[in-house]
Structure 1
């Protein structure tokens, strides 16, 4: 993991001759404007082994090198902890987060977060990178979290999040049986500014779309697979509650149910992403956690 990153290399084609460097990086390579300006002005781009400017004109056959590796630091304490790493390379890391763990430090939780653990992991591997969260999960939601290890991969993943190939899949255990085996929940979600974390279904909110499919039915419960088309805060929890099928153990949108499970029965089980460097489709999965399996056993 700590070997030097060779960066990205592009060769200008005949039909691209005459483009300025910033035009090439934005239109051909699909860098964001912000990333293009920063990486060029920081001296991270060379043309034919010479430092270039945003307005350097390109010729056919020019070789463009973009340096990705950069030493960075965060004002967060690295903390040794066991991490369930599902996938890692020089650009990204995907971790299976247990429930009860906060993703990023807050005023009340400076330590014990996933970010603390990741910074220690990077330091142990000789990597001077910071944690750039691409996806987040609530403290009591378990499952896959995607983290970018450099500004390039963060930019690429954020850019491609709305592509059809980018999918986040969850499993949830809900009260009652859904009226249909599969379908789409398309309801706007709105945050009432009353100091509460709770969201509601309201026309003033943002359009929110969740695809669902019943995986297994029980007498008065369903195990459901859900794929997010949009990514609003609490989207799955709000949508399922609006259907009359709150998630087991969801104290914010349902009830505290320690006799069944000590947190909301929601797990991010699968990620499908476009890899930022190779542009290949990467599919990653993790198993249902023990507490949700125990709940399913109780429901049988």
Structure 2
């Protein structure tokens, strides 16, 4: 991956300072130096101490990223929603883990994307998950294709420039058609997986809008303003409206649903290399469509 940037400052500036302002981290600079990358001005190698003058173009060549040794390339196809040289957005099925664990060691989304990269013949095979989803959640999942892209999108997560919108089916009748849940979240006592709302937890903000109110459940559109583990599931359970199918948080079991009724339906982010907003959508998963029809 190669980038050409022209320096337009009036005074002199070091390559290090210039690249830091572009978002290239110290870690990535080390990789460029020691793992096959290049820094050049006028086709001549330079170091980070080189002083740029107005009008000079700095060429940055990122080192190729090999496949992670912890992953096993999977032959399972991925549903590509959008892709360019920097990012890949796929539609994740429910019941597929994002990353390997001792419980789900293979055929995760990371394994499937690695398999896709290899079948496409991509030189870069680093796997950078920007927006991770719980195993039971379906919908849009964003991968960065190189470490620099990952750094820039991770920053957008912190500034909320990257936005995720979910659809969920929750139990009961919601009093408010639009509301915010602001309960802090922390790990539940005695559990490695389960979370709970409690004083002393990390701040969390979930905003929702009711899309359809049924007799015993509601379809809601949800926007996360923070990114706590199981945040949507924990927040709705805390206000007495757990997600249908969510056994971990007491959700009712209906229509044979075997996972939480949660789907990442929309993803929006600023593309730092194209200079424009990318907005993508994914239709509701088939099992949740069936659930909504049964409730209607």
Corresponding residue to 1:91 among 80, 86, 90: 86
Q: Judge conservation of contact 1:22–1:37 (CA < 8 Å) in 2.
A: no
Corresponding residue to 1:235 among 231, 235, 241: 231
1:273 Cα deviation from its structure 2 partner = 0.9
- The CA distance in 1 between the partners of 2:116 and 2:243, in whole Å, is 33
1:256 Cα deviation from its structure 2 partner = 5.7
Partner of 2:257: 261
- The CA distance in 2 between the partners of 1:255 and 1:283, in whole Å, is 31
The answer to whether structure 1 residue 79 and structure 2 residue 74 are counterparts is yes
- The CA distance in 2 between the partners of 1:299 and 1:93, in whole Å, is 34
Q: Judge conservation of contact 1:171–1:267 (CA < 8 Å) in 2.
A: yes
- The CA distance in 2 between the partners of 1:158 and 1:34, in whole Å, is 15
What are the equivalent positions in structure 2 for 1:132-171 lying under 5 Å apart?
Answer: 132-171=128-167
Runs of 4+ in 1 over 4 A off after TM superposition: none
Partner of 1:274: 270
TM-score for the superposition, normalised by structure 2: 0.93
1:138 Cα deviation from its structure 2 partner = 1.0
- The CA distance in 2 between the partners of 1:192 and 1:217, in whole Å, is 30
- The CA distance in 2 between the partners of 1:14 and 1:277, in whole Å, is 20
Corresponding residue to 1:117 among 105, 112, 121: 112
* SS, match of residue 288 in structure 2: helix
Partner of 1:62: 56
- The CA distance in 1 between the partners of 2:113 and 2:23, in whole Å, is 29
- The CA distance in 2 between the partners of 1:178 and 1:151, in whole Å, is 42
The answer to whether structure 1 residue 174 and structure 2 residue 170 are counterparts is yes
Number of residue-to-residue matches in the alignment: 293
* SS, match of residue 226 in structure 2: coil
Q: Could you say if the C-alpha distance between residues 18 and 273 of structure 1 is closer, same or farther in structure 2, counting changes exceeding 3 Å?
A: same
Corresponding residue to 2:47 among 26, 40, 53: 53
Q: Could you say if the C-alpha distance between residues 22 and 41 of structure 1 is closer, same or farther in structure 2, counting changes exceeding 3 Å?
A: farther
- The CA distance in 2 between the partners of 1:265 and 1:255, in whole Å, is 9
The answer to whether structure 1 residue 189 and structure 2 residue 205 are counterparts is no
User: Pairwise CA RMSD of aligned residues?
Assistant: 1.7
Q: Judge conservation of contact 1:69–1:150 (CA < 8 Å) in 2.
A: no
- The CA distance in 2 between the partners of 1:84 and 1:168, in whole Å, is 18
1:258 Cα deviation from its structure 2 partner = 5.0
